[in-house]
């Protein structure tokens, strides 16, 4: 029986990870890729006290965190930079802990604390692996590869309902007709795709501007597969969210300055995009519109409205500490209210919701800072994070998936890690550029002094080396 258990599967995969880690030429990148790809895989060692599965991805990211401290080739990073969202998340952790007291199911409430702490540890493990622009590009490629895997599986599930590939997607919701990937529920799959599609679109745009056929084909294929897979999830909230997020993202492009090349790319893509929309409408237009506007939409809205009323009553009765993480269902007709913001306030109180709001707002401020960067590589990807976050904020009004699904929560933290890595990259790059300019001025003064007969020596080779190190991330600047 053990050889057929989930624990045996995770143990075997962990052994393969250790084997690959030992022989990988770049161990940090290997672990980063393995961790990202397995976030939504199901199964693991069930820890009753913490009410969670110790999954393969936890093991991999834990190994990555340890390796980031002992890696002899690790680079020093500025400590404490761009940590503001984490301060608010610490508030979320604290109020998750406070909610233990009123919680009926103590172990379930404790799992909220543990998950939130795991998120921070994984965030640091990922961030400490992203030193350069090439590291960030590699990380983006891994996120795209994971979406291709999940998208292809979702498309297969759309054609073959209840299709499974083993323990990694063993548990599935009763909605057999909706694609889930390796997530438990189709809504979780939809929220995941909502987070991944806008950054993938930015990589596609950038590849077209640079004429990089390899990345254009890779990201373009992922966009097509991910977009179709999003449709197969039948997640109406994610549909609306990703539409609004992309509209905001493209609106910033079209009305922003210094985006001539990007505007040309968008104009060139308009005709193929229109053709794709027409073909999709002819094939699945009725199914799409029926799901969006009919399919019990009115009765479902009335039911969820009733849940919101119940939730508000619970918040009024427990305004400070809430009722405990994953204890909402013990006070309501069903297990949770379909609204992220109300669910957070219900389970960890209004102060906990304020901390969550601060976490999201500071993340948005970081994104805006990145969007204004003079470095195209940073500003372009930041706009993808902008589209993802705007879509997430909209889709979370009817969708609590961030709070109830740890894989969705972890992928959200991957986007946060990407954005913080971009800001750190900009910070280092601008510091190097300023140093380069100062050295150029000093060398010019030295040359003048030398011409006047004074001793001096230019450092052209040193300046050239700095300039070459910056050329990669400045490539594509418009």
DSSP letter string over 21-47?
Answer: HHH-SSHHHHHHHHHHHTTT----EEE
Torsion of CA 264, 270, 272, 278, to 10 degrees: 180
Residue 449 CB coordination number (10 Å): 12
Answer positive or negative: Cα dihedral of 132, 418, 90, 249. Answer: positive
Residues 285 and 363 both lie in one domain: yes
Q: Which range, 100-109, 275-284, 423-432, is most confident?
A: 100-109
Q: What is the mean pLDDT of residues 110-122?
A: 96
Residues 461 and 411 both lie in one domain: no
Q: What is the mean pLDDT of residues 6-20?
A: 87
Residue 77 domain-assigned? no
Q: What is the mean pLDDT of residues 157-181?
A: 91
Question: What integer pLDDT is reported at residue 403 of this predicted model?
Answer: 96
Q: How far is CA 105 from the centre of its chain?
A: 30
326 secondary structure, DSSP code: T
Residues 298 and 441 both lie in one domain: no
Residue 22 domain-assigned? no
Residues 338 and 359 both lie in one domain: yes
Question: What integer pLDDT is reported at residue 10 of this predicted model?
Answer: 82
Question: What integer pLDDT is reported at residue 1 of this predicted model?
Answer: 46
**Whether pLDDT at 456 is above 50:** no
Residues 262 and 315 both lie in one domain: yes
Determine whether 451 is exposed, middle or buried from the number of CB atoms within 10 Å of its CB (0-12, 13-18, 19+): exposed
Residues 210 and 286 both lie in one domain: yes
Residue 166 domain-assigned? yes
Question: What integer pLDDT is reported at residue 206 of this predicted model?
Answer: 93
Residues 297 and 400 both lie in one domain: yes
Question: What integer pLDDT is reported at residue 478 of this predicted model?
Answer: 41
* Residue 434 confidence class, pLDDT cut points 50, 70, 90: confident
**Whether pLDDT at 161 is above 50:** yes
Calpha distance 183→186 (Å, rounded): 7
Residues 265 and 174 both lie in one domain: yes
Would you say the pTM of this structure is higher than 0.85? yes
State the total domains in the chain.
2
Cβ proximity of 109 and 100 under 8 Å: yes
Residue 347 domain-assigned? yes
- What is the per-residue pLDDT across 221-271, written as a single tens digit (0 to 9) for each? 999 999 999 999 999 999 999 999 999 999 988 886 656 677 788 888 888
Residues 391 and 470 both lie in one domain: no
Indicate the average pLDDT of the chain.
87
Widest pairwise Cα distance in the chain: 89
Residue 299 domain-assigned? yes
Q: Tell me how far CA of residue 205 lies from CA of 100, 211, 262, 266, in angstroms.
A: 47, 10, 7, 8
Residues 454 and 316 both lie in one domain: no
* Residue 373 confidence class, pLDDT cut points 50, 70, 90: very high
Residue 155 domain-assigned? yes
Cβ proximity of 43 and 9 under 8 Å: yes
Number of helices (H) and strands (E) in the chain: give both, helices first.
Answer: 16, 2
Residue 45 domain-assigned? no
Determine whether 121 is exposed, middle or buried from the number of CB atoms within 10 Å of its CB (0-12, 13-18, 19+): middle
99-103, 204-208, 406-410, 426-430: least confident range? 426-430
Question: What are the residue ranges of helices labelled H in 211-322?
Answer: 213-233, 236-255, 260-293, 297-317
* Residue 293 confidence class, pLDDT cut points 50, 70, 90: confident
Residues 131 and 151 both lie in one domain: yes
Find the domain containing 440 and state its range. 431-474
- Nearest CA to 108 out of 349, 394, 335 is that of 335
Residues 304 and 421 both lie in one domain: yes
């Amino acid at each position: 029986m053990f050889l057929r258990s989930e624990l045996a599967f995770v143990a075997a995969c962990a052994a393969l990870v250790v084997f690959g880690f030992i022989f990988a030429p770049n161990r940090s990148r290997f672990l980063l890729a393995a961790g990202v790809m397995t976030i939504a895989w199901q199964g693991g060692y069930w820890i009753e006290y913490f009410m969670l599965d110790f999954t393969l991805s936890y093991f991999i990211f834990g190994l990555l965190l340890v390796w980031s401290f002992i890696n002899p080739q690790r680079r020093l990073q500025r400590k404490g930079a761009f940590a503001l969202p984490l301060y608010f998340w610490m508030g979320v952790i604290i109020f998750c802990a406070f909610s233990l007291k009123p919680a009926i199911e103590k172990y379930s409430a404790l799992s909220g604390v543990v998950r939130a702490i795991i998120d921070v540890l994984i965030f640091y493990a990922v961030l400490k692996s992203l030193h350069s622009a090439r590291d960030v590009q590699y990380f983006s490629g891994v996120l795209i590869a994971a979406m291709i895997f999940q998208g292809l599986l979702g498309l297969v599930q759309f054609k073959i309902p209840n299709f499974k590939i083993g323990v990694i997607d063993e548990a599935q919701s009763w909605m057999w007709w909706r694609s889930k990937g390796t997530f438990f529920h189709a809504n979780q799959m939809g929220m995941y795709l909502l987070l991944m599609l806008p950054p993938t679109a930015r990589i596609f745009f950038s590849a077209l501007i640079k004429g990089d056929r390899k990345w254009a084909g890779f990201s373009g294929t992922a966009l097509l597969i991910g977009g179709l897979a999003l449709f197969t999830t039948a997640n109406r909230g994610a549909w609306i969210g990703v539409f609004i997020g992309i509209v905001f993202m493209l609106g910033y492009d079209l009305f922003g300055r210094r985006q001539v090349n990007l505007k040309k790319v968008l104009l060139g893509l308009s005709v193929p995009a229109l053709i794709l929309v027409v073909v999709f409408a002819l094939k699945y237009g009725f199914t799409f519109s029926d799901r969006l506007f009919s399919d019990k939409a009115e009765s479902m809205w009335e039911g969820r409205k009733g849940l919101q009323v119940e939730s508000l009553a619970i918040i009024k009765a427990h305004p400070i500490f809430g009722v405990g993480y994953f204890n909402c269902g013990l006070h309501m007709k069903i297990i949770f209210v379909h609204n992220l913001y109300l669910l957070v306030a219900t389970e960890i109180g209004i102060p906990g919701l304020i901390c969550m709001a601060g976490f999201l707002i500071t993340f948005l401020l970081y994104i805006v800072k990145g969007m204004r960067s003079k470095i195209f590589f940073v500003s372009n990807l930041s706009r993808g994070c902008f589209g993802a976050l705007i879509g997430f904020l909209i889709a979370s009004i009817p969708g609590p998936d961030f709070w109830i699904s740890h894989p969705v929560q972890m992928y959200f933290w991957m986007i946060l890690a990407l954005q913080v890595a971009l800001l750190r990259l900009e910070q280092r790059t601008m510091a190097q550029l300023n140093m380069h300019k100062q050295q150029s001025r000093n060398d010019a003064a030295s040359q003048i002094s030398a011409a006047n007969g004074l001793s001096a020596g230019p450092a052209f080779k040193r300046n050239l080396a700095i300039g070459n190190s910056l050329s990669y991330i400045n490539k594509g600047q418009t």
